[in-house]
Amino acid sequence: MKRFPRLAMMAAVSTIGLAVSYGVIFTFYVAGLLGDWPLVPSRAWERTFRATILLGPVLAGFLLLGLLAWRERWTTGLLPWVVGALGVIVVARHDAGILSPFDTIWIVVFLAMAALSQRSEGDGEE
């Protein structure tokens, strides 16, 4: 009986993560279009929707795996999943034309936080 609530929670978290990922990726692409706002060609909107549909689930997968790694205390830790999620975000920002040199700062901060959250030997063992 304990299995159903856990599966329901994972389904809810997965759905929420997918919606958030779609929103994040779509926002990046729309921000890239804002410079041409009055006359945005339909081809640009098609590219935006296509990229959102392709990159959204990938980002959601990395976020979900990162959440599972943190929650279940996987031996790999958060670092591989944070690197994957940051890679998807950097690809989306670059493709949308809004990647800036200041993005390096938040990338380094997130990588440092993920690296510092690594499990130590004997952590969580009972």
pTM beyond 0.85? no
Q: What is the pLDDT of residues 25-48, one digit of tens each?
A: 998 888 887 766 677 778 888 888
CA–CA distance, 22 with 101 (Å, rounded to integer): 24
Q: Take residue 7 and report the two structure tokens written for it.
A: 């599966």
Q: Take residue 52 and report the two structure tokens written for it.
A: 């959102």
Query: Quick one: CA dihedral 115, 116, 121, 125, positive or negative?
Result: negative
Q: What is the pLDDT of residues 52-92, one digit of tens each?
A: 999 999 999 998 888 888 888 888 888 898 999 999 999 99
Give the start-to-end residue ranges of the domains of the chain.
3-116
